Structures are given as C-alpha cells and as structure tokens.
Amino acid sequence: MPVNLKKYGWRDSFERILKEQKEKLPNTFPGRVISVHRTSYEVISEKGIMFAEIDGNRLKDKDVFSKPVVGDWVLIFAIENSKDKYLIEYIFPRYGVLKRERVRERDTQIIASNVDLVLIVFAIDQSINFSLLDRMLIQLLQDNLPCVLVFNKTDLMEHKNEEQNIREKITHNIPLVFTSTKTKEGIQALKKFFKEQETIAIIGASGVGKSSLANLLSLGENSQKVGLVNMLTKEGRHTTTSRRLILVQNGSLVIDMPGIRSFALRKEDYKEDIDKLFFQVESFAQYCKFRNCHHKNESGCAVKKAIEEGKLDIKILEQYQRTKEKLRK
C-alpha cells in the first residue's frame, strides 16, 4: 500500500512546486528526509522508506544550506541499472528552519527543517540555565519558530513550590508544561500542542528526557514502531546520537534530537528581538524620556516608574538587563 505523504506533513502548497520541478526533473518523485547518515539520507516516499544519496559535488559544497537535513522535502530518483539506489535531486523551499550557531566552527548549522513547533525541554532536577534559555528563545524568535517550554521529571521535585518558582522566573509569553514520563503527569497537556501533520522538534540538554517524551508519545495505536537512534553512554545511559523524524500519536511528527551542549547566537543586532521577548519591559520603555534609556538611573524612566507602582516585576527588568549584558559581550 502506498504511503500517504500527507501523514508525513506534505502540504497542498507543495503541489505547485512539485509540478514546476517535475517538468524539469520528470523521473523524480517526492519524499521527506527522516534521518541523515554520513553519506546517505533515509527518505520516506510513497513507495516506503528508501536510502538516497546526494551527488558528490554537492557533498563537497561548503554551503550547509545546500545539503538536505532531517525534515526536508526532496525530489529523488532511482539511479538507472542499479537496484535500490536513489539520488536526491532537489530540496523543496524550507519553512520553519531550526538553526544553531556553532561557536568554535564559527558557522551556522541547520538542525532541522519544516518545523512547526519547538519543544525546549528542561529537567526539574537540574539547575535551569536561564541565559541559555534566553539565547534559544531569541534565536527561535528570529527564525519565526513558535515554542513550548517543557519542565520534565516533576516526579523528582523536592518541594511543592518548585513549579511556582519556575513559573515566576519565566516571564516570557510562552506556554509552560510540567511533565513526568514516569508518572505521566502533564502528558495530556503536552499532547494538546501536537497537531496532525505538524512537525515538532524536541531540543534541550542531554539527559533531560527528550527521547523518553518522544517514546511515550509514540506508543499510541496508530504510531509506527519507534526507531530512535540511541547509543549507550559510559554511564550506561542511552543517549541519542542522531536526529530522526518519527510519526507519533495524534498524527504529528516528532524530531528527537541529541542533547544540545551550547547554543550561541548569530552576531546580529538583537535589540529588537530582546525587546520582543521582554515585551512587558518594552510596553513601558516606549514612554521613557530618553530613547536610549537603560532603565537604570535615568530621569523620566517609565520602566522604573512602572516598577515603583507595582505594574512591572523588578525581576523581569533584571532578567532583561542580564540578557542584554550577555549579548553585548
């Protein structure tokens, strides 16, 4: 039975591009990259899962944007006279591109494409790196990717008020979900964000429970067998080593990611994005006497006034200033 690509997120808007490209590349057919290997790409097409390669010239291409990534829609064709050999000929224009700046390599890496939602996962028993979170949020904002923050391992919570403490610290206008893959707390709430045919990328540090969440969600009746790519660490823990797209409950698609150790930002002007992230500060800052007000000791500062009047939490301003400080370095 042919695979219905709509289940894998194929959109009607791709049909026009498909038609155009098929005129140039008549023997090709569409598919979606579900995992990336060293020299080959696992692609789901109407004919099922197949392994495809890219032309050697492209492989040498330094431009990372020219190589397929997990989540990409591609056109492939069967190489003549060889059984089961396919070549990727075309990458559909991407939307929802999840990127990462690599500090040491000084480049941009595309982690996944055609992503509709990003889950940023933290574990409640580990200290939460708020500056990492802010950097991630700014990047997602710049790339126009909506996100949900997941605080996993609530079963390890020592005090009842930990959840409240976190809620108070996260001042951004982003949904928060508290989950435990052990007690299943919050899983229903999390599922609400999983929409049919939408692709959800799960990011966060190693060991926070990304794969456990993905596994839990993929155990539904209509889901395919999970094929997460895991490797045993020295501590005997399974750590994810490559990205993979899987079909989960509710008909959405999940990309489970290896743990992210660092998250840098592009060297661009972040001001606008920080202001967007800290929209509460911005809503008062527009009334400051000086346009370049730092909301420290300037006269006529509307932000300070809002704090005095109890309209704005000083913690939000402090977080805002810390973030600005960090990004200036």
Residue from 7, 58, 85, 182 binding ligand GTP (CB under 6 A)? 182
**Residues in the site for Mg ion, rule: CB under 5 A?**
210-211, 240
Three-class DSSP category at 52: strand
303 binds, among ligand GTP, Zn ion, Mg ion, none (CB under 5 to 8 A by kind): Zn ion
Cβ atoms of residues 295 and 278 within 8 Å: no
Give whole-number Cα distances, 209 to 71, 115, 228, 292, in Å.
21, 20, 13, 42
Residue from 143, 155, 282, 313 binding ligand GTP (CB under 6 A)? 155
Residues 6+ apart with CB under 8 A from 42: 33, 34, 35, 36, 49, 50, 51
Residue from 73, 258, 265, 284 binding ligand GTP (CB under 6 A)? 258
Record the tokens describing residue 56, joined without a space.
């050697």
The secondary structure element, H or E, covering residue 320 is helix 314-328
* Binding letters toward Zn ion, positions 259-288, x by CB under 5 A: -----------------------------x
Give the span between the Cα atoms of 292 and 296, in whole angstroms. 11
Dihedral sign of CA atoms 249, 223, 258, 57 in order? negative
When computed from its CA atoms, the radius of gyration of the chain, rounded to whole angstroms, is 22
Which residue is it, tokens 């498909």?
18
Stretch that binds ligand GTP, among 87-95, 188-196, 204-212, 245-253 (CB under 6 A): 204-212
Considering the complex, state which of residue 24 and residue 238 has its C-beta at the smaller distance from Mg ion. Answer: 238
182 binds, among Zn ion, ligand GTP, Mg ion, none (CB under 5 to 8 A by kind): ligand GTP
Considering the complex, state which of residue 108 and residue 230 has its C-beta at the smaller distance from ligand GTP. Answer: 230
Residue from 24, 37, 102, 237 binding ligand GTP (CB under 6 A)? 237
DSSP string, 127-163: ---HHHHHHHHHHHHHTT--EEEEEE-GGG-SSTTHH
Stretch that binds Zn ion, among 39-47, 94-102, 302-310, 312-320 (CB under 5 A): 302-310
Q: Check binding of 28 to ligand GTP (CB under 6 A).
A: no
Give whole-number Cα distances, 79 to 60, 84, 88, 96, 122, in Å.
20, 8, 10, 31, 44
Considering the complex, state which of residue 109 and residue 286 has its C-beta at the smaller distance from ligand GTP. Answer: 109
Record the tokens describing residue 98, joined without a space.
């999840």
* Binding letters toward ligand GTP, positions 106-145, x by CB under 6 A: ----------------------------------------
180 binds, among Mg ion, ligand GTP, Zn ion, none (CB under 5 to 8 A by kind): ligand GTP
40 binds, among ligand GTP, Mg ion, Zn ion, none (CB under 5 to 8 A by kind): none
Give whole-number Cα distances, 252 to 9, 195, 215, 216, in Å.
8, 6, 13, 13
Q: Which residues bind ligand GTP (CB under 6 A)?
A: 152-153, 155-156, 180-182, 206-212, 237-240, 258-259
Q: Which residues bind Zn ion (CB under 5 A)?
A: 288, 293, 295, 301, 303
